[in-house]
Chains A and B, each alone.
Chain A
């Protein structure tokens, strides 16, 4: 293993961390909705896919330059949030009291509808956009080329974590939603409009899915099926972290992102299975996830 130098390992960890950012973004939105609203939101992945498609269309409108990328990044997640408002106010609002299984089936059916809607609007062909010129190419980190766009993602990670911490611990809505996730009836009883709190949390969660999709858009094929890929990973992350626990989602995303990137360096032939082995290992020692589940 002559290629296994410390520098290479360090770089692979950084790459893993940049991937963790996207995973954390999507998984934290999922776990937020799961923890507060108690909804296993299967169409979370569809919103991620729609975020990516919207970013593409917006960037295309501006001719795929730097402007297109930034406008897409700013606007696409907001449009995704708008879609989620429509779904929440229109349908989900009336279903909060149903069983989890019903909600699971229900959000699953919405995910089917959304994926057909994407096929209807954008067609079955895959799309592909490039990173803006500013992020093209690589910078040298310890003598190894490190892609600039990943560096950008890497820098976003801490901001995201801080933002979520701020939201849940320092804002009123965060505090109420934390309380609601522990005892919904009690919060209702003291006269707080839980329905509105739920709506805002849901929209924030969905916004994060859209943002994840917008950020991944220049890195991969924007295609049908990316919703399923991400929702499976996001659910695994949420499960190993502890249902509804944001810091659990961070831990889970770290485990998932790092095992896959380090595995690629150390054991390339079998790297595909490593994250899943990690999931199985975690669950066999801590069946309820690493951190406290709010369920």
Chain B
């Protein structure tokens, strides 16, 4: 008799648990971010996680994903591969994260990507720009949400090669990113304009303190166009030197992300005019309701304009939210199947995640720095040309070849 009472209580309890407010009892859905949250790179990485959180807050307020609240965990990568791998492992083993995301450093991203493959955890790469992430080293569990060096180089080349420049000079940071972006740009320029001629190349170390001797040496060669392969740490001081020495007035220059808000805000009045730059996102362009709305929400939450990282954070959030919706349950394999080839709306229009290599086909905006009375503190990009993402990525055949298939 006693046994039956206990049993019925148990049955009633479990039935009520199943029917009433599952979200109150379901464990949270955890997303683990690993990125450089201290040091100079935090200018870029904070936007990613802030925009991601903004989307997830909305979903949480509406009841979460499949009734589960989304919880965001953050770990500082400090640009160190071993440390980041430790964080990733800790979040997988102890926190049981469902998804990993981050990071700005390509070497960190590649290392975590490797771990994600082994542990079968989806990993959204939200800033790193190495092509290898989705091409050579791509696999089922990794997603490239940012542009890569190939895409940026091709976009810039498509615009530059149409101009009457003949004599090019390449200068940049002597590390993987610098060489990769210079190579892809130059390859594309040669393809479009075979008459283009590479006069010479100059490479300096990352963190080079003084650019003046390089600038005068390039000036004396009088190139038609200077391709600058500059990464985060050198970009701002080089552009500053280019303005202070009058270099930017005498020669047209292109450098990836020269028109990006994070950099222009850091440069302030030291930013040179008429510098050609490429970026995935501008808060003032395209002038669509979707973008305006995004900027309004971001500004209301964080009291600053969103830079390019915010777009990556937003996109990662949308793919995850809509992916789980389509999958119908919280399951990594089903999520991946659902996201492959998925198109989401974004501030820059519809963005598709290519099914084969998981690369987001982001459009690239090529623009020229100019001043605008509406923004007295920093320059913005003008004369913007939009190059669709489909034209910028490697073809599926090229990716297959790189993967050795």
Contact = CB atoms under 8 A, between A and B. Distances in A.
A, B bound: yes
A260 B212 contact: no
B207 A265 contact: no
Contacts of A284: none
17 contacts: A8-B221, A12-B220, A19-B213, A125-B39, A125-B42, A128-B266, A131-B244, A144-B219, A146-B216, A147-B215, A147-B244, A150-B212, A220-B210, A223-B233, A229-B209, A268-B171, A269-B201
A12 B250 CA distance: 18
A128 B216 contact: no
A264 B214 contact: yes
A135 B244 CA distance: 8
A16 B212 CA distance: 9
A144 B212 CA distance: 13
Nearest to A138: B246
Interface stretch (B132-140, B234-242, B325-333): B234-242
B244 A269 contact: no
A145 B246 contact: yes
Interface string B219-231: 1111000000000
A21 B371 CA distance: 36
A126 B199 contact: no
Interface of A: 2-3, 5, 7-8, 11-12, 15-16, 18-19, 124-126, 128, 130-131, 135-138, 144-147, 149-150, 216, 218-221, 223, 225-226, 229-230, 260-261, 264-265, 268-269, 271-272
Interface string B16-43: 0000000000000000000000111011
Contacts of A216: 209-210
Interface in B194-216: 199-205, 207, 209-216
B344 interface: no
Contact of B200 (A7, A145, A268): A268
Interface residues of B, number: 43
A11 B216 contact: yes
A61 B294 CA distance: 36
B288 interface: no
A264 B220 contact: no
Given A11-B220, A145-B246, A126 B213 contact: no
A143 to B, nearest CB: 10
Contacts of A8: 216-217, 220-221
B240 A128 contact: yes
B96 interface: no
A223 B203 CA distance: 21
Given A124-B38, A147-B245, A16 B213 contact: yes
Interface in B259-281: 266-267, 269-270
B344 to A, nearest CB: 33
Given A125-B42, A264-B217, 12 more contacts: A5-B220, A12-B213, A19-B212, A128-B237, A218-B244, A219-B210, A219-B244, A221-B237, A264-B202, A265-B220, A269-B202, A271-B202
